[in-house]
Amino acid sequence: MSNEDINCNFTLEKVYKLLEDQNIYVDKMYEFIHSKKTDNKLIMISLGRIWFNLLMPPDYPLVNQPVPKDDISNKYMLDISNKYSPKIASETCQKLLHEAFKLSTINPKSFLIDGFVLPPYWIAKKDKFSKNAPKMTDEEFLKESQELTKELLVYFKDKGIGINDVIESKTKGGSEDWKALLVARGFVIDIEGNISRINEANNDGYSVDSYYKGGAQARRNYFVRSTMTSKPGYLARKVTMACANIKIVSDDCGSTQYLKINVDNKLAPRFFGRYYKNEKGDGLLCVTNSDDIKNKTMEFRSPIYCKEQNGLCNKCYGRLSNLVNNNNVGILAGGAVNNETINAMMKMRHKATQVEFVDVNFIKIFKDSNIDEKLINLFFDIKEKQIFAKKDCKIIINEKDYHDDAISDLGEKYDIPGILDVSLITGSIEENITFPFNFNLFLFKPENTEDKGSIHILSYINEEKIVEKDKYIKDMKPAIIDRLFEGGMKHITKPEILLNVLLSELTQSDSCHLELIVSNMFRTKDDLTIYGRIGGYKNCKLVGAKEAPFIDSWLTALAFENPNKAIKVGLLKNRESNLNPIENIVLDKFYNEEAE
């Protein structure tokens, strides 16, 4: 259906022309008629909502309610991708992106804090809070500052002050930003990972102590921006190269194994379009509405259990490849990682909402892990915030396994990603476990520390402190994610464990992408070209994203980062590997020329 077939009294050009008038805003009401959306009936609707409806497909139902920024991708674009062709969905997305920039330049939204008159009763409560804040615990401080902020925003709404529409849309600031401006700045973190608190609000002015705490936070942000901006792109490139050969090769592999997931509200949208076990009969059902699976235990067909030896089937992967009309799902997975990690890094800016802290409890973390409890208690004295050695154990750090700035040497300790391999020594017997901490922690140097170039050997004895952490920041941590994709948790044997960690770290990616990556990382020890899922994950090895290209395809490896290694490993060592036809042709040509 073309736009010419639609009877409508508005165009985008007319909306923009009206907004050029300094006295007209997007919330001004106008008469709107549309042959499809209003069924040729005249209704009163805001100019902003007219603009949004004009960008949606002509036959898409009328949207006459607030549209928060998150709903555009999580609700409307998801709905459009499900109901329309990939071409229309793509065009709609492009229009929204393009026209949103245009609208923001014609009708920018901004405000000055001095333009708001605060009620006397609220000021009195705020003064009382400021006086008591230094004596409050972190939990009391956080709770009372949030309640004060909420009360102020309710006052603005009740008085008809239009700033609430801006806040609720999440387009400019949020309640946490208002808390920092008018109630209290809150928690900040310095470059060494130490968390402290600023009790004053930005609008109050800082004490000398608070000023330096704020300066330490700003220094950390500059460090993050200067050193970590490029990392998501490189990480995504490694993942893409590792998974590049994975494609949809059949409709149904017939697998009878399922991925069992407790689906909460946050997980539900990440399983849209997935096939799951029909408990009431034979066959499979597809998730067409995320609300249908919320707060349920579901059994999904998954790439982790796909039986296809040289790719994946459509039933195990889900409908996403159909929605985007692309069977190259390995490359899609790399793109998904790239999209989320880059967006997260770009949002690392100086604001209060960046610092959302989590209290560390090592006892609970180990209890929830799959690590042998008897083994842990034999070798370690686990405290809530610290871990001490009971028996001889050893940690070997190879700096080449990390980015240059992932490890900070702080003298008597390292600030290091918490996914650490620990060797447990009993006489001549050595066992290995992985500390499964998805945050940076302080790793203390024992008395017996040996440095061999980039390799550091830390040998602990009874009562020596190994690690310590009080709180950590709840955000995306590139160093942790990089260690996960590099096979840092190499002693785990169950793919579900690695998947759960990735789901908690990459909170926006569709689960099918992460399941594909996990499935690709588990390989059969005797032949790394065979996926671990083919043998039921018995006798498996975890392969990192840097290693996989040199195992699966020397052509992919050539395009990665080390052509010499690609030729040596791909051409010479993997002469008998299961290569694709193009690779075999080139390989035969190479050997024939060598023979001549």
Task: Give per-residue pLDDT as tens, 554-573.
Answer: 666 666 666 666 666 655 55
* CA distances in angstroms from 77 to 89, 104, 259, 510, listed in the order given: 7, 20, 27, 14
d(C-alpha 315, C-alpha 252), whole Å: 5
pLDDT given at position 129: 94
pLDDT given at position 558: 66
Q: Which residue is listed with tokens 């994203």?
A: 545
Quick check: 361 and 384 in contact, CB under 8 A?
A: yes
pLDDT given at position 351: 42
Contacts of the segment 7-10: beta carbons below 8 A, 24+ positions apart: 7/33, 7/34, 7/35, 7/40, 8/33, 8/34, 8/35, 8/54, 9/33, 10/50, 10/54
For 254, phi then psi, to 5°, come to 80, 15
Residues sharing a CB contact under 8 Å with residue 326, sequence separation 6 or more, in sequence order = 332
The two tokens of residue 73 are 């991708």
- CA angle 340/341/345 to nearest 5° reads 120
| Same domain as 161, residue 77 | no
| Same domain as 164, residue 101 | no
Q: What is the pLDDT of residues 475-507, one digit of tens each?
A: 666 677 778 888 777 767 788 888 888 888 888
Domain of 186, CATH number, reads: 1.10.132
pLDDT given at position 578: 53
Greatest mean pLDDT among 109-113, 314-318, 536-540, 584-588 lies in 314-318
pLDDT given at position 31: 93
Residue 260 counted as domain residue: no
Quick check: 360 and 440 in contact, CB under 8 A?
A: no
pLDDT given at position 236: 79
The two tokens of residue 366 are 């180990």
Last residue of a domain, one of 79, 106, 133: 106
Residue 497 counted as domain residue: no
| Same domain as 173, residue 68 | no
Helices 12-19 and 86-106 pack at an angle, to 10 degrees, of 20
Mean pLDDT over the full length of the chain: 82
Average pLDDT of the residues in 426-436: 80
d(C-alpha 43, C-alpha 45), whole Å: 6
| Same domain as 98, residue 124 | no
Helices 120-132 and 138-158 pack at an angle, to 10 degrees, of 170
Residue 334 counted as domain residue: no
| Same domain as 557, residue 449 | no
d(C-alpha 496, C-alpha 258), whole Å: 11
| Same domain as 218, residue 126 | yes
Q: What is the pTM of this model?
A: 0.66
| Same domain as 93, residue 8 | yes
Last residue of a domain, one of 73, 106, 139: 106
| Same domain as 406, residue 383 | yes
73 or 89: which carries more pLDDT confidence? 89
**In which band, very low, low, confident or very high, does the pLDDT at 144 lie, cut at 50, 70 and 90?**
very high
| Same domain as 453, residue 359 | yes
Instruction: Please give the DSSP secondary-structure letter assigned to residue 399.
Output: G
Is the model's pLDDT at 455 over the cut of 80? yes
Last residue of a domain, one of 85, 106, 127: 106
pLDDT given at position 312: 94
How many percent of the chain have pLDDT more than 70?
A: 82
CA dihedral sign, ordered 381, 365, 216, 214: negative
Quick check: 514 and 545 in contact, CB under 8 A?
A: no
Residue 324 counted as domain residue: no
Residue 518 counted as domain residue: no
Residue 322 counted as domain residue: no
Three-class DSSP category at 425: strand
| Same domain as 101, residue 121 | no
d(C-alpha 196, C-alpha 290), whole Å: 39
Q: Which domain holds residue 380?
A: 355-474
| Same domain as 95, residue 147 | no
Rg (CA), the chain: 28
pLDDT given at position 74: 73
Three-class DSSP category at 444: strand
532 or 238: which carries more pLDDT confidence? 532
d(C-alpha 281, C-alpha 307), whole Å: 23
Quick check: 502 and 436 in contact, CB under 8 A?
A: no
pLDDT given at position 7: 86
| Same domain as 467, residue 359 | yes
Residue 270 counted as domain residue: no
Residue 233 counted as domain residue: no
Give me the number of domains the chain comprises.
4
